[in-house]
Amino acid sequence: MSNITSNNAVVAIYKSHAEAEAAVKELQRSGFDIKKLSIVGRDYHTEEHVVGYYTLIGAGLYNLGIPKDSLTSYETALKTGKFVLIVHGTEEETADAREIIGRTNPEVVDHHQPSQTNPHECPVGA
């Protein structure tokens, strides 16, 4: 049970807040720590208290561990009123989360893993 690489993330896009919430509830039922979940939506207000509720885009998503090359598609989804669910954790946790999320019919689901090595520092064959 190594916690060395805990910067993995699964990102799913949903058409509505209700669909994103249903995915959160499914993850919670499966025993996933909801403190490792974030829902991102544009100017969405709710009476509910969800740990990690953000209303941000761009740099905020990058700070949540989303690679720069993926930001544009997520920002576009947010601008069109969709909701982005982000699950953080170890490789094992995010693999489990991706499987659970896959059953909730997201529009898109991506699994982001941090680079283990910098190719400039450790060339192939070195």
Has residue 80 been placed in a domain?
yes
At residue 113, does pLDDT exceed 70? yes
Q: What is the pTM of this model?
A: 0.74
Domain with residue 94: its CATH number is 3.30.70
At residue 17, does pLDDT exceed 50? yes
Has residue 39 been placed in a domain?
yes
Has residue 119 been placed in a domain?
no
Has residue 120 been placed in a domain?
no
Q: How far is CA 83 from CA 14, 21, 86, 119, in A?
A: 5, 10, 10, 34
Contacts of 32 (CB under 8 A, 6+ apart): 87, 93, 96, 97, 100
Q: How far apart are CA 54 and CA 61, in angstroms?
A: 9
Has residue 45 been placed in a domain?
yes
Count of domains forming the chain = 1
Nearest to 41 by CA among 29, 26, 57: 57
Q: How far apart are CA 40 and CA 72, in angstroms?
A: 14
Has residue 1 been placed in a domain?
no
Tell me what pLDDT residue 114 has. 74
Has residue 2 been placed in a domain?
no
Range of the domain at 38: 8-112
Q: Is 56 or 81 the better-scoring residue by pLDDT? A: 81
